[in-house]
Structure 1
Amino acid sequence: MAELLVVRHGQASFGADNYDKLSEVGHEQSRLAGQALRDAGWVPDRLVTGTLERQKETLRSMGFDAAPEEHPGFNEYDFHDLLNVRFNGDVPPAVKGERKTHFRTLRETLLDWQEGGCVGAKESWADFSGRIAAAMAFATDTTARRVLVVSSGGVIGQLVATALQAPKPMMMELNLQIKNTSMTRFVFSGSRFFVSEFNATPHLAPQERAGLLTYS
């Protein structure tokens, strides 16, 4: 079987006007992730990202020089849009700026979205899950034996939940656990794919790198 390694992007710019850029910590996380793969002798022969800048910046900082392919199915759900729909365009300041409040509210919103809530959002849950399935089919329709994808936490949570045939709410439980630049490994053959490793961060394991472990 071939391998598909899905890496979550490095730390983005939480609270900034433009979230879709890596922080300095995000660039360092990405550099270390790429070095760890090369040290382990795992060099991809196909590269894929979504179209988000934080995903593309992650791959560049990982140090793999080949031109990547892009598939928008690997993009994250639009959490700003979902929160705006839930709060009718008036998102409370605490939801925007306090991490604990933000992620608690986001979890509640996502669970409602999965059950048909957030009517009027740019993307329905069915559309989100459908495009991820299409992105996975794109990434695994290949003769490559090692495929590296840089994506986002919600996408990775949905891919793992799908592979495990888990109930819909499990996607969000997984999403909230996924660390920046963590590695989730699948093995695949044709349209069949299985989880072989989840949310691994060997490049951040040394004690002196504890401060580089982030979730947003």
Structure 2
Amino acid sequence: MAELIVIRHGQASFGADNYDRLSPAGHEQSRLAGAMLRARGWVPDRIVVGSLVRQMETLRSMGYDNPEIHAGFNEYDFHNLLHTRYEGEVPNLVMGDRKTHFRTLRETIFEWQDGGLAGASESWIDFTTRIEDALTTATRDGAERVLVVSSGGVIGQTVASVVGAPPKMMMTLNLQVKNTSMSKIIFSGKKRFLHEFNATPHLDSPEFAEMLTYS
């Protein structure tokens, strides 16, 4: 059976005017992830990345190029969802305090999943549908090892879908996904099986303990 490794992007710039860029730590996390795959002799036959800057920067810092780009692997637009919930007036604490931000985001995603936030740029159904389309494209015939660089929400939904978990499990998984973690899915045609979730072998040593991040 073929292997799909989905990697979350490296640490982005939380709280900055432009979140969609890697921090210096994010570039180093990505470099280490790429070095780990090469050390293991894991060579992808197909590389697919979302169109967000932080995703593409992660792939480049991993040492890979010439990917296919599929916007289905892009993260949900959390800025848009929060602005929709708060009618354009998101409290400063929500955007500036990490703990408050993620607690509020969790509540917002649950409302979105339940059919709320009607004015958002993307519905929950559209989000899950485009992920499935992206996964179908990435795992089409012709490759035995597929590398994808994506984001936490997409990975959370992918894993929840593969194991048949209820929708709200997506956010529980989303908030666990570490930067540059690797989740492995074994696939054959339309069949998919979770083999590994949220692994960071490239950071699993005292030397790199401080490199573990979640946003």
TM-score normalized by the length of structure 2: 0.99
Q: Secondary structure at the match of 2:147?
A: strand
> When the two structures are aligned, how many residues end up with a matched partner?
215
Aligned to 1:149: 148
Shift in Å, 1:64? 1.8
Any unmatched runs of 5+ in structure 2? none
Percent identity for Structure 1 against Structure 2: 67
Aligned to 1:215: 214
Shift in Å, 1:98? 0.3
Residue type of the partner of 1:156? Answer: I
Aligned to 2:132: 133
Residue type of the partner of 2:45? Answer: D
Give the alignment of 1:1-216 within 5 angstroms. 1-65=1-65, 67-216=66-215
Q: Distance in 2 between matches of 1:39 and 1:204?
A: 14
Any unmatched runs of 5+ in structure 1? none
Shift in Å, 1:177? 0.1
TM-score normalized by the length of structure 1: 0.99
Q: Distance in 1 between matches of 2:39 and 2:61?
A: 16
Deviations 1:15-56 (A, max 9, x none): 111110000000000000000001111111111000001000
Deviations 1:126-183 (A, max 9, x none): 0000000100100011311100000000000000000011000000000000000000
Q: Distance in 2 between matches of 1:77 and 1:162?
A: 16
Q: Distance in 2 between matches of 1:133 and 1:44?
A: 21
CA RMSD of aligned residues (A): 0.6
Q: Distance in 2 between matches of 1:171 and 1:77?
A: 12
Q: Secondary structure at the match of 2:127?
A: helix
